[in-house]
Amino acid sequence: MTAGLLDRAVGWRQGVIAELRPVPRSLADLDVPGWAAVAEPFRAGGTSGGAGPHAREAAIAEAMERHAAATCPLESRPVPENAVHWPIEDFTLHSPAQRAHRNFPYRYEDPGYTRAWTLPGNAEIWVPAGLVGLRPEHGLPATSSGLAAGPSTVHALLRATQELIERDALTVSWLHSLAPARIPVPAALREPVESLGGRVHAFDLTPGYSPHPVIAVAGTLPLGGRPRSTLGLACRADAGEALEKAWLEWTQGTVFLEVWLAGNEKTVLKPRQVTDFDAHAAYYTSRPREWDRLPWWRGPVGTAPVSSPARGTAAELAELVRALRRHRIRLAYRELTTPELAAVGLNAVRVLSPELTPLHSDHRWPFLGGTTADLARRFPDAKPGVFPNPHPHPLG
């Protein structure tokens, strides 16, 4: 994936990304490169971003994967006679009690289905179309969990599967009010934050079924005397890479909060107002005392998770798929590469699993059905707290 080829995604020739711009940094920010890809106003997806040495490429890829999920043609029809399918009831989404609520905003009855293919068998399987694309007309909750773009289909499959795992780990641990183990933050990542008056912590969220570590980074960075409180999350085969990726995502969140505070300095969000990911990202900056009371700060001190021995995209994907299969976690994928993505050397995929919990954007309607209540599947030794957690998660 070369920068020159990716640049073709920007501007009028493609009509997907209107502008690519560096994210400005103030003296209160960490010296980490950031880029923002601004979508065309008539396109779905809003602004995408990236942080770190490959921020420019990451911002373009994120914008293009959202474009693919919103525009790739998907058949939406009843399941053909005798075709193998995973019904909507199999998926870990909203519970029957939630669906029975008079104000429930989604439509689960008689969804249209589309084709996908199983991992690792590559057998045809029909799945709800609304869980594959990002189109509102399907009536199902749109989520980006398991959506990825990369220089090859195998690379995109690996990143999409890792994202499914990291989102499941965060969502379930948060909804069960767990206090995850804190692990050391390397001086190279910790000291720049502390020099600006901030605090940063890392947490091991690796679920029992995953050979690839899941690490969250959470902390605060002050701006004008106010703490910017946010979280980053990553799953990678190498624990060091996961921690660094989560830290970069955390730095990206602090910059978003600088922009949010500029227009919402006096805003104090209420839980019922947290109905999208921007509000999730901003909630604890508007309520710093609640951030300090989260159970995360009471967790035990632990050591960094063990890295996977697998190296290389294909080997890491094969290891991950085998591990999930051993734990009876089903996977399916759908290629979403559109001509616009192919022209710039990108492949996009959606990976989905009935057994894994997606991350919710609307705090009023977390995914409480399916396997979400099954804490032992993910964290067999954990001591659960209040379920469901009444506080919004902080991942934007």
> Rounded to the nearest 5 degrees, what angle is found at the Cα of 252, between the Cα atoms of 33 and 198?
100
Instruction: Say which amino acid occupies 100.
Output: A
Please state the rounded mean pLDDT for residues 3-31: 83
Domain co-membership, 208 together with 148: no
On whether residue 76 sits in a domain, the answer given is: no
Q: Which residue has the tokens 């946010």?
A: 230
On whether residue 103 sits in a domain, the answer given is: yes
**CATH assignment at residue 262:** 3.30.160
On whether residue 384 sits in a domain, the answer given is: no
Domain co-membership, 292 together with 188: yes
On whether residue 27 sits in a domain, the answer given is: yes
**CATH assignment at residue 113:** 3.30.1330
Domain co-membership, 94 together with 144: yes
For 360-376, what is each residue's pLDDT tens digit? 999 999 999 999 999 99
Please state the rounded mean pLDDT for residues 7-21: 80
Domain co-membership, 65 together with 31: yes
**Separation of alpha carbons 110 and 107, rounded Å:** 8
For 238-249, what is each residue's pLDDT tens digit? 999 999 999 999
Q: Work out the pLDDT band at 135, boundaries 50, 70, 90.
A: confident
8 A C-beta contact, residue 286 and residue 224: no
On whether residue 390 sits in a domain, the answer given is: no
Tell which residue, 274, 211, 266, has the closest CA to residue 238: 211
Q: Where are the alpha helices (DSSP H) in the chain?
A: 3-6, 55-71, 96-99, 153-175, 187-195, 239-263, 277-286, 288-292, 313-326, 339-343, 375-378
Q: How many domains does the chain have?
A: 3
20-29, 188-197, 250-259: least confidently modelled range: 20-29
Give me the pLDDT at residue 45, please: 46
For 309-340, what is each residue's pLDDT tens digit? 999 999 999 999 999 999 999 999 999 999 99
On whether residue 136 sits in a domain, the answer given is: yes
The domain boundary, picked from 41, 71, 101, lies at 71
Please state the rounded mean pLDDT for residues 40-55: 60
- Indicate whether this model's pTM tops 0.85: yes
For 335-351, what is each residue's pLDDT tens digit? 999 999 999 999 999 99
Domain co-membership, 255 together with 156: no
Cα distances (angstroms) measured from residue 297 to each of 183, 220, 225: 12, 13, 22
On whether residue 25 sits in a domain, the answer given is: yes
Q: Per-residue pLDDT for 48 more than 70?
A: no
- Give the bridge partners for 219, in sequence order: 200, 230
The domain boundary, picked from 298, 324, 345, lies at 298
Percent of all residues in the chain with a pLDDT value above 90, rounded to a whole number: 83
Q: Which domain holds residue 14?
A: 3-71
Domain co-membership, 197 together with 292: yes
Domain co-membership, 158 together with 51: no
Q: Using the CB atoms, write b or e for 310-322: b if 16+ within 10 Å.
A: beebeebbbbbbe
Domain co-membership, 109 together with 32: no
Mean pLDDT of the chain: 94
Please state the rounded mean pLDDT for residues 181-193: 98
8 A C-beta contact, residue 189 and residue 243: yes
8 A C-beta contact, residue 225 and residue 282: no
Domain co-membership, 208 together with 258: yes
Dump the DSSP string for 3-21. Answer: HHHHGGGBSTTTSSEEEEE
- Give the bridge partners for 128, in sequence order: 113
On whether residue 244 sits in a domain, the answer given is: yes
Domain co-membership, 223 together with 294: yes
Domain co-membership, 143 together with 248: no
Q: Per-residue pLDDT for 221 more than 90?
A: yes
**Separation of alpha carbons 75 and 84, rounded Å:** 16
Token pair recorded at residue 335: 């290629």
Q: How many residues does the chain have?
A: 396
Dump the DSSP string for 261-325. Answer: HHH-TT----GGG--SHHHHHHHHHH-HHHHHT-GGGGSPB--PPPPPS--SHHHHHHHHHHHHH
Q: Work out the pLDDT band at 167, boundaries 50, 70, 90.
A: very high
8 A C-beta contact, residue 50 and residue 34: yes
Residue 16 backbone phi and psi in degrees, to 5? -105, -50
Give me the pLDDT at residue 119, please: 98
Domain co-membership, 171 together with 318: yes
Q: Work out the pLDDT band at 42, boundaries 50, 70, 90.
A: very low
Give me the pLDDT at residue 151, please: 95
Tell which residue, 275, 335, 346, 323, has the closest CA to residue 57: 346
The domain boundary, picked from 13, 42, 71, lies at 71
3-state DSSP assignment of residue 177? coil
Give me the pLDDT at residue 112, please: 95
